Structure 1
């Protein structure tokens, strides 16, 4: 048995969970927050038999696509006088996709 841990953007999680549960995979959802954009993420725990891991990964790939997003990032800038000057600029970042961990499960119990 394997535990598939998946971190996806919150926007992608609803459809992903729907397809996984339709495929009879048991999914546990946790809300999480990303570090760089501080955006809402979803972390999923999926317990699965070893031979079904690739099927789960294929579902994740089909529902979690990377995409470009432009964000406005405010960073104070200190000029030569040492005075902070508020300055904002657009940053294009890649969002979406998924981070996937597959780990062995030594023991599984449902009580």
Structure 2
């Protein structure tokens, strides 16, 4: 058995959740926040058989889209004053971890 942790943008979480369910996977959703942009994410916990891991990851990949976004940034000029300017960053997609599970029970 494997436990998949998939951190997905909130923008994609509804579609990912629906497609995981449609594909026969049970997932627990946790609200989370990214450290870089401090934006909302959803962390999915999916326990599945070893031979189903790639199928679950494919569902997540297919439904998690990377996109460009302008975010405020700041730079110091002169005497410590800050002037904000936008910076383009890539957001979205998914961060996936797969771990071994010693025991799994649904009670």
* TM-score bracket, shorter-length normalisation: over 0.9
Q: Stretches of 4+ moved more than 2 A in 1? A: 75-78
- 2:95 aligns to what? 99
Unpaired segments ≥5 residues, structure 2: none
For the residues of structure 2 that align with 1:50 and 1:23, how far apart are their CA atoms?
16
**C-alpha RMSD over aligned residues:** 1.3
| Secondary structure in structure 1 of the residue aligned to 2:44 | strand
Larger Rg: 1
Could you tell me the TM-score, scaled by structure 2's length? 0.93
TM-score normalized by structure 1? 0.90
Q: How many residues align?
A: 107
In the alignment, the residues of structure 1 paired with residue 59 and residue 75 of structure 2 have an alpha-carbon distance, to the nearest angstrom, of 42
Q: Structure 1: which 5+ residue stretches go unaligned? A: none
